[in-house]
Structure 1
């Protein structure tokens, strides 16, 4: 009996295979004039029977799917991702989540480690404090338990200061736990390094490779958002920082804090705010060297970026914080004689750049809108190694100069390698250190006045000129005077001629 059943099954399978071949042929040849309908009906029934056998056979071989596994508790079993809700943090922002988030940070700090980064900095192995897209109310700064750790990320959510958050604190505070958070004390001691921090970490730096990413930080007009003290290779990426009263981001000492793809504003506005005159605070305060700000928008603050450390670079920065006409500044370079700053491909929108005693300052390929200008401010009378080239200036025809001097504390006396040139201007007054002019006259003296063009008063360090005359006799001529930025050329006899002059102020007076 079993043999007959097996034979029957073999016949059925053979017919099924035949059906496949015939069906393909039938699909390729549509016209079967006499028996087509009856033939196709039989083939369809045989195909259905074959499919039922195949489904039955597959069902006997497939085992039930395993039940989904529940992930282990965060921070256990070697995991380096610490979800703050598993510590009791409230993602709705209704209750205080400070202690829960600090516990997650503490577990990450004390979790699995992978040797060291720079000497004295423990490698936390890429541990993550995951905010899970929630909004968390914070009543005190979030700090690591102690200095001396690195390779940690905090990301993916919103932190909001509560109404009792300290007014001199920062939502995320990357300073050693023993350091003071007083903004006034930081300003007075900006170049000092806390000895207790160094001893606690065993390193000259507090932290290394800390990443703050994909965060919204609302300081609720009570202090600042991020403080980075004496740390190495810190990354602040894709952050939206608002409602600060002191600094949005403060970087003090250390090296290589990179701030990128972020938005900062004391008040949430898109320009033309009726309260703009009252904007206060500083969006980014760089009190150290070797930092970079790239692709960042600063939409409200009294000062966009305050810089008091050398060797920093800014690219793709758009400042439309408090307008210069209201007393605001876009970028303030407050390091007389040691600027060493590069500002490129940026957009100063109604707000200006101020540089005290600029030395090795480069500003290029940037756009200045709404009478925004560059102010060089004399503190000790030094301007050395300054390039302001290839920028665009657009104003309102009010006679505002694109580059200005503030010599209220004394004139610039040490001027060397200063180039202000190749800037294009519309609705503002051009200023430069290089000028070209000409004059046609019938006489023995030609004066070409550059006083309305040249940046520095009474300073021409180099002159080239040529005299073209149609007289049959060739007159003797010479450069006679360059005072008050006026070039005077005289000849020994009257001639009908034209003088062409090029001057430069870039050298030392």
Structure 2
């Protein structure tokens, strides 16, 4: 639905026409009566006063739409527009309004600060003048860091050390329902793009963030930041860049809980998404930021023992996933291209509640395992509820926690070796086995004699010609 804005200036032609028509009507209808002339003069003055009042109405404040060019911002990007943009924001949030947001957060009614399709150079972060601001939109243009923009700052900074704009005991959140939409942020290799600190229900939608040296989007604390339909890259490239070995920085850092990154492309950075908070969702993301062979990582999960993250329907393009002590991590429906793989990194040796299922892996026949263990800090010795299964592989080594094998032989013992496929060494916790023979009138007794080093040993009491079928599972704790 299109939003039609009322502009009082549109009434000026109608008012002028009305004045002229009244002038013609009164003059020619009553040419000889002096009292009628006096009434006519009074009416004309009133209509002129109406016209004047309409022309003096401030269309910016009446429509709750603040265009930064009205404050002197330079849309060509040649001069510094920082003060003009900050003044527009200050006016937009100056009015106290009633609302139903969190205690201590003022509802500003969806007031819009528009960059009006311009390119603006700024030398300081774009910030709100106080904390406690809610329901505000900043949209529609480009911000570019000046050469003297400091490297530890962000172009848009939703953080504040000031007190809230209304008296309240709520100090948990600085802002609520701030929308950053349809923006291009050029960090000019000075600092980062967007920072949201203790912000609640923040929307970052259809943004293009580039040339950052630290972080494209930093989320610290807060709750429910949604990053959607956006593009992030330190260098503007579309792959195969000769500078790829030197890519640095992090495109998105989620240091908070319950956030979502949806339909986002990360095309250059050392790390695509760094997660150090709980219960985050990554879906529809394309990471080709820096190849694993050059030291890059698509998604790095650093919250040992409390991961609680879902990564689904995403595309890892020559760069994979690293997770420390994963507990409740779900990876499914993803495509790993170019020998990209998943690393389980031991910190305290815990992996619990891990699902890596229904993914596709494609490689170059170099013998790369689709899931790998980094046990330099100690082996995984607390393994439970782990399912690595039902993945399809082309040109890489399949790894799983569930495997099936068969062996034919003539004798009293059979050995089935699962080392080629099983993920964890020496950790078979469940075995199901069957001995089948085509010999008539032979009914051997057979037993599972031993499980050692991912090998299953089965022995029968008599020699037979037959085949052994074995199913094993590593996913449960040995105490289960």
Is TM (by shorter chain) over 0.5?
yes
Quick one: distance in 2 between partners of 1:307 and 1:436?
Answer: 35
Note closer, same or farther for the CA distance 1:297–1:201 as it changes in structure 2 (3 Å cut).
farther
2:387 paired with 1:416: no
CA contact (8 A) 2:313 2:334 kept: yes
Q: Could you say what secondary structure the match of 1:482 adopts?
A: strand
Structure 2's unaligned 5+ residue stretches are 1-20, 25-50
Q: How far 1:398 sits from its partner (Å)?
A: 0.2
TM-score (norm 2): 0.87
Q: How far 1:473 sits from its partner (Å)?
A: 2.1
Q: 1:448 aligns with which of 416, 423, 428?
A: 416
2:304 paired with 1:319: no
Quick one: distance in 1 between partners of 2:161 and 2:444?
Answer: 81
Q: How far 1:227 sits from its partner (Å)?
A: 0.2
What's 1:138 paired with?
122
Residues 340-388 of structure 1: CA distance to partner in whole angstroms, max 9, x if unpaired? 0000000000001000000000000010000000000000000000000
Quick one: distance in 2 between partners of 1:152 and 1:464?
Answer: 61
Structure 1's unaligned 5+ residue stretches are 1-59, 179-195
2:342 paired with 1:358: no
CA contact (8 A) 1:176 1:197 kept: no
2:254 paired with 1:286: yes
2:460 paired with 1:476: no
What's 2:65 paired with?
81
Number of equivalences: 430
Q: How far 1:115 sits from its partner (Å)?
A: 2.8
The 5 Å alignment of 1:69-218 reads 72-76=57-61, 78-111=62-95, 113-178=97-162, 202-203=169-170, 204-218=172-186
Q: Could you say what secondary structure the match of 1:100 adopts?
A: helix
What's 2:13 paired with?
none
CA contact (8 A) 2:103 2:168 kept: no
Quick one: distance in 2 between partners of 1:170 and 1:235?
Answer: 17
The 5 Å alignment of 1:236-251 reads 236-251=204-219
Greater CA deviation, 201-210 or 242-251? 201-210
Q: Could you say what secondary structure the match of 2:230 adopts?
A: strand
Q: Could you say what secondary structure the match of 2:63 adopts?
A: coil
Q: How far 1:469 sits from its partner (Å)?
A: 1.3
What's 1:52 paired with?
none
Q: How far 1:482 sits from its partner (Å)?
A: 1.3
What's 2:362 paired with?
394
CA contact (8 A) 2:133 2:165 kept: no
* Root-mean-square deviation over aligned CA pairs: 2.1
Larger radius of gyration: 1
CA contact (8 A) 1:198 1:205 kept: no
Q: How far 1:201 sits from its partner (Å)?
A: 6.3
Note closer, same or farther for the CA distance 1:454–1:149 as it changes in structure 2 (3 Å cut).
same
Q: Could you say what secondary structure the match of 2:462 adopts?
A: strand
TM-score (norm 1): 0.82
Quick one: distance in 2 between partners of 1:341 and 1:199?
Answer: 36
Quick one: distance in 2 between partners of 1:197 and 1:322?
Answer: 41
Residues 77-135 of structure 1: CA distance to partner in whole angstroms, max 9, x if unpaired? x3311000000000000000000000000001102523341111110111110000000
Residues 440-466 of structure 1: CA distance to partner in whole angstroms, max 9, x if unpaired? 000100111000100000110100011
CA contact (8 A) 2:139 2:182 kept: yes
Q: How far 1:413 sits from its partner (Å)?
A: 0.7
